[in-house]
Chains A and B, each alone.
Chain A
Amino acid sequence: MTDLSMGFRTAFSRVRVSMLAVLAVALFGVAAQPALAKTTAREAEGVSFSFEGPFGVFDQAELQRGYKVYAEVCSACHSMKLLSYRDLAQAGGPFYDPKHPNLPPAQSPYAKAIAAQYKVSDIDHDTGDVIERTATPADHFRAPFPNEYAARAANGGALPPDLSVIARAREGGPAYIYKLLLGYEEPPKGMTVPDGKYYNPYMPGDMGSFWSGPKDKVPEGGFISMAKQLTPDRVQFDDKTPSTAENEAHAVATFLAWAADPHMVERKQTGLAVMLFLLVFTGLTYLSYRQIWRNVAH
């Protein structure tokens, strides 16, 4: 039970009293409780995406730019284990070719070309040796580290999270990712930043014990082990989109939103048809209801 109620449990002594007494104390006593540690983060606001709302769709050009940001920057430390190279060419994906709708994604020349840039580990079926071979579209995205220990060792003890579903796994989703990537700020005066950490107001955290300023002005946000990555000209886009940090962050947030929810557009379009069908059916059923009940006073 420690997880559930440790916070408020510490506020009381564990005296055994009758239920009535507990209720009486509960209702009328205990006005002041010690302030507890508080996790804060700045709200991710003021950014919009093409895929918002019931009619929103992914911008394929931006998905391609976002994949490039992932491939050239993020993938140095972050895995995306749930994605295969073929997924990039599936309907609605960054490299889907609407001219060949019946081509299986694994046969896509784009998926093949992208996969061919990577080497993945395998077992030689003749010798049993561990070998490196060229990836195929059926392979999962190559992970930058062979295991969690290697990832931590290379990153000062921190584990770069897998990004496959990160857009669903964080409050605020793609807007949070966008703001976090751009949101690095100079730590305010009075904040002690540990070695290998960076202050980011969008990262949820509790700055209380790293803050020597006034206790009622603890800055919001937390520390992150990743340094600022997206800077102007970090990634050269193939479609002449200016390489601003904002464009890079927006593109990769879009790509990660797609990766976390690759059937989003199909889902919304199916939903519109379902709603339309249900509305018509509901209307007809209502008319039948009025017809059948017309002579019953009720």
Chain B
Amino acid sequence: MSGHSTYEPKTSFERWLDVRLPILRMAHDTAIDFPTPKNLNYWWTFGGILAVCLVIQIVTGLVLAMHYVANAGLAFNSVEHIMRDVNHGWMIRYIHANGASMFFLAVYVHIARGLYYGSYKAPREILWLLGCVIYLLMMATAFMGYVLPWGQMSYYGAVVITNLFSAFDRLIPGVGTAITTWLWGGFAVDNATLNRFFSLHYLLPFMIAGVVGLHIWALHVPGNNNPTGVDVKSKEDTVPFHPYYTVKDAFAILVFLLLFSWFVFFAPEALGHADNQVPANPLVTPIHIVPEWYFLPFYAILRAVPDKLIGVLLMFSAIAMLFLLPWLDTSKVRSMRYRPMARWFFLIFIAATLGLGWCGGKLPDDVVIAVGQDAVSGEPTGFTVVMLSRVLATYYFAYFLLVLPLLGLFEKTLAVPDTISTPVLPKGGASMPTGATASPEKKG
């Protein structure tokens, strides 16, 4: 799909530029005339939405960095200064803070779409891996950004997450401690930690932007997957990216911005935590340390086992599963539209992940299903959050390590259409030439 260029320079300047730096040719071939499957549904608009999210975060972040002070004694008040005294500082900060949540919301939909429609399968493995790298970078960036306001949750979030690495002392004594000391720049989370987190929080988004460039490049070599999972066979299966998908993406982006704006202007603290409005105090530990909502499923996996090292390894493995996915799924059929069994396992997987997120926000000993009563305190006892986390985490891993490898070998799939155009033709369309309906000039 890539390779052949349809760009024709129209002015003498464009011709002059084209033989020196064919940048307009590249823009034309990737964003204007790029042949895109005509059957992409709204789940495919989240790529564009994510690009908008990244730009919003970088632009608002640049402005915030002009006013923020990365110093343990001044950071909290400098954020309040932004909220109170900087012109429209409240808006810029609330866009940035809620923008992180919106970014993750969109990336989770984007990943789920890839999981369902098999977008990780050949020949798109590199595309998928680059996406996983972006997701990892996003998590690091968001975590370090959350530390910067230097509230109680910022501080204790940093303490908890950096301390995870000390678990490696169990593997090689001293190594875990050395890693945490190196991360902190000292022997506790302190000013040095805040400074380096600010520096890295400024750097990583540009690395994300770079990998996004590679991600789009890797997308444009095989071209988009599509809801049928069937490869593009002819020109009739596609439409040019512009104006067909520019307008569809624009519509989806605007709907997304409506949701985004609702949070920014009417519920800006809804996704935050009251404790983070209290300046960091190393001597007072909050009763309930919770990460931001987008990390809760991993937090639940971390806490699901009583052993810290295994908890940490499981948490990292949960993300490693995504990297291995292209080689775990044995099915030859890309889209789960034609895999009735896989579809159910996928839906349960989504439910399990959401359930893990719910568990991550609760205390491990909270009771989900009360069976009895504690003889002394009268508190209900029974099936607790930590036990539910174990069940759900087991399914999470089983989905990748058992279901997808085995299902592909045994399941009975439905008939996959020959071409993208087949399913949209009236009455099965077998008797009509494929793609006939895609020619605008032949229809009303």
Q: Which of B83, B275, B303 contacts A4 (CB 8 A)?
A: B303
User: Is the beta-carbon distance between B254 and A278 smaller than 8 angstroms?
Assistant: yes
A residues within 8 A CB of B437?
Answer: 296-297
Is the CB–CB distance between B266 and A282 below 8 Å?
Answer: no
Contact indicator A292/B244 (Cβ below 8 Å): yes
Q: Which of A1, A33, A270, A278 contacts B365 (CB 8 A)?
A: A33
Q: Which residues of A contact B115 (CB under 8 A)?
A: none
In the complex, are the beta carbons of B247 and A289 less than 8 A apart? yes
B364 to chain A: closest residue by CB: A8
Q: CB within 8 A of A292: which of B243, B311, B371?
A: B243
Closest chain A residue, CB of each to CB of B83: A263
Give A54's nearest chain B residue, CB to CB. Answer: B266
Bound form: Cα–Cα A298–B390 in Å = 43
- Residues on the A chain within 8 Å of B102, using CB: none
**Contacts of B149-171 to chain A: CB distance below 8 A:** 156, 159-160, 163-164, 166-167
Across-interface contacts of A19 in B (CB, < 8 A): 310
Which B residues lie within 8 Å of A30 (CB)?
387
Contacts A26-B390, A35-B376, A168-B274 given; does A274 touch B265 at CB 8 Å: yes
Query: Residue of A at shortest CB range from B443?
Result: A295
Interface pair B306/A215, CB less than 8 Å apart: no
The reply to whether B365 and A23 form a contact with Cβ atoms under 8 Å apart is: no
Partner among A8, A208, A270, A275 whose Cβ is within 8 Å of the Cβ of B91 = A270
A interface bracket (residues with beta carbon within 8 Å of B): 35 or more
Q: A171 at the A/B interface (Cβ < 8 Å)? A: yes
B378 located at the interface, meaning its Cβ lies under 8 Å from any Cβ of chain A in the complex = yes
With CB as the reference atom, state the residue of chain A lying closest to B276.
A169
The CA of A286 and the CA of B254, in the complex, are separated in Å by 10
From A171, A216, A296, residue with most partner B Cβ within 10 Å: A296
The yes or no answer to A99 lying at the interface (CB within 8 A) is no
Within 8 A of B (CB), among A145-184: 164-165, 168-171, 173
Q: Does A82 sit at the interface, judged by CB under 8 A?
A: yes
A263 adjacent to B250 (CB under 8 Å): no
For B441, list chain A residues within 8 Å (CB).
Answer: 295
Known: A4-B163, A297-B424. A279 touches B374 (CB 8 A): no
Partner of B250, one of A1, A38, A285: A285
CB distance from A195 to the nearest CB of B (A): 22
Does B289 lie at the interface of the complex (its beta carbon under 8 Å from any beta carbon of A)? yes
| B261 partner residues in chain A, CB cutoff 8 A | 271, 274-275, 278
Residue of A8, A31, A286 near B306 (CB, 8 A) is A8
Please tell me if the beta carbons of A1 and B164 are within 8 angstroms of each other in the complex.
Answer: yes
B258 and A282: CB pair below 8 A? yes
The A-contacting residues of B in range 278-312, CB under 8 angstroms, are: 278, 285, 287, 289, 302-308, 310-311
Q: Is A189 an interface residue (CB 8 A)?
A: no
Q: Which of A9-17, A107-115, A230-238, A240-248 lies at the interface with chain B?
A: A9-17
Q: Which of B38, B258, B387 contacts A298 (CB 8 A)?
A: B38
**Minimum C-beta distance from B420 to chain A (A):** 9
Nearest A residue to B265 via CB reads A271
Q: How far is the CA of A11 from the CA of B306 in the complex (A)?
A: 9
Query: Which residues on the B side are within 8 Å of A275 (C-beta)?
Result: 258, 261-262, 265
Bound CA span A35–B367, Å:
11
Counting CB contacts under 8 A, is B255 at the interface?
A: yes
User: How far apart are the CA atoms of A19 and B440 in the complex, in Å?
Assistant: 60
Report whether A82 and B84 are in contact in the complex, using a CB–CB cutoff of 8 Å.
Answer: yes
Chain A positions within 8 Å of B305 at CB level: 22-23, 26
Q: Is the CB of A36 within 8 A of B365?
A: yes
Is residue B363 contacting chain A, with contact meaning CB distance below 8 A? yes
Which residues of A lie under 8 Å from residue B265 when comparing CB positions? 267-268, 270-272, 274-275
Question: Is residue A5 within 8 Å, beta carbon to beta carbon, of the partner chain?
Answer: yes
Residues of B within 8 A of A171 (CB): 274
Complex Cα–Cα for A229 and B212 (A): 58
Q: Would A168 and B277 count as touching, CB distance under 8 A?
A: yes
Which residues of B136-182 have CB atoms within 8 Å of chain A's CB atoms?
156, 159-160, 163-164, 166-167
Contact A267 B163 (CB under 8 A): no
On chain B, the residues within 8 Å of A11 by CB distance are: 306, 365
Q: Are B377 and A293 in contact (CB under 8 A)?
A: no
Contact residues, A192-219 vs B (CB, 8 A): 204, 208, 214-218
Residue of B nearest to A285 (CB): B251
Known: A169-B275, A215-B376. A281 touches B254 (CB 8 A): yes
Cβ of A87 under 8 Å from chain B: yes
B89 → A minimal CB distance (Å):
9
Given contacts A26-B387, A275-B258, A296-B239, contact A3 B160 (CB under 8 A): yes
Residue A7 interfacial (CB < 8 Å): yes
Find chain B residues with CB under 8 A from A282 CB: 251, 254-255, 258
Contacts of A33 in B (CB 8 A): 365, 381, 384
Distance between Cα atoms of A216 and B77 in the complex (Å): 44
B235 to chain A, nearest CB (A): 13
Determine which residue in B38, B305, B425 has the highest number of CB atoms from chain A within 10 A of its CB, and name it. Answer: B305
- What residue in chain A is nearest B37 (Cβ atoms)? A298
The listed residue (B38, B77, B84) touching A296 by CB distance below 8 A is: B38
Contacting residues of chain B (232-265) with chain A, CB-CB under 8 angstroms = 239, 243-244, 247-248, 250-251, 254-255, 257-258, 261-262, 264-265
Interchain Cβ contacts under 8 Å between A and B, 25 examples? A1-B167, A3-B159, A3-B289, A12-B306, A17-B307, A19-B310, A38-B379, A169-B277, A208-B377, A215-B378, A217-B378, A218-B377, A267-B94, A267-B265, A275-B261, A282-B251, A282-B254, A285-B251, A285-B254, A286-B251, A288-B251, A289-B248, A292-B243, A296-B239, A298-B38
Known contacts A27-B394, A296-B239; can you find 12 more A-B pairs with CB under 8 A?
A7-B363, A11-B365, A19-B310, A27-B387, A33-B365, A87-B84, A168-B277, A215-B376, A279-B258, A286-B251, A289-B251, A292-B247
B residues near A (Cβ < 8 Å) are: 38-39, 77, 80, 83-84, 90-91, 94, 156, 159-160, 163-164, 166-167, 239, 243-244, 247-248, 250-251, 254-255, 257-258, 261-262, 264-266, 268-269, 274-275, 277-278, 285, 287, 289, 302-308, 310-311, 363-365, 371, 373-374, 376-379, 381-382, 384, 386-387, 390-391, 394, 421, 424-425, 437-438, 440-441, 443-444
What 3 A-B pairs are tightest by C-beta distance, nearest first?
A: A216-B378, A271-B265, A295-B440
